[in-house]
Amino acid sequence: NAGVTQTPKFQVLKTGQSMTLQCAQDMNHEYMSWYRQDPGMGLRLIHYSVGAGITDQGEVPNGYNVSRSTTEDFPLRLLSAAPSQTSVYFCASSTLSYEQYFGPGTRLTVT
């Protein structure tokens, strides 16, 4: 049981490039979400999903796109990277029970 996995662990992009951060969970969790963590800001919600085929925006969705074609996977796409998207990205999943399980994070630098 791997829990929540994220790839890559580190990534450097140039401004304007696009990329996809991968997130997968093997716990059959209904709910998945993406957060970004910036220094001094805590974690902020980017997008979330309440099930396959259903996604919605969180607090800071601009510049990001998501889809949820399967229960297991919830990729986050950066459409045209900007330096303001330099951050650490966490994927999380949960059921109706209380705990959110977090992936190990992806550290992204946009130059």
Binding residues for another protein, per CB under 8 A? 31-33, 35, 40-45, 48-50, 56, 58, 88, 90, 92, 94, 96, 98-102, 104-105, 107
Please, which residue, 78 or 105, has the CB nearer to another protein?
A: 105
Q: Report the distance separating Cα 32 and Cα 103, nearest Å.
A: 11
Yes or no: say if 19 and 78 are a contact pair by the CB < 8 Å rule. yes
From residue 35, alpha-carbon distances to 1, 16, 57 in Å are 23, 21, 11
CB of 107 to another protein, least distance (A): 8
Q: Report the distance separating Cα 22 and Cα 24, nearest Å.
A: 7
CB of 17 to another protein, least distance (A): 24
Please, which residue, 12 or 41, has the CB nearer to another protein?
A: 41
Q: Which residue has the tokens 């997130």?
A: 23
CB of 35 to another protein, least distance (A): 8
Q: Report the distance separating Cα 91 and Cα 104, nearest Å.
A: 8
CB of 16 to another protein, least distance (A): 27
Please, which residue, 89 or 110, has the CB nearer to another protein?
A: 89
Please, which residue, 58 or 63, has the CB nearer to another protein?
A: 58
Q: Report the distance separating Cα 16 and Cα 92, nearest Å.
A: 27
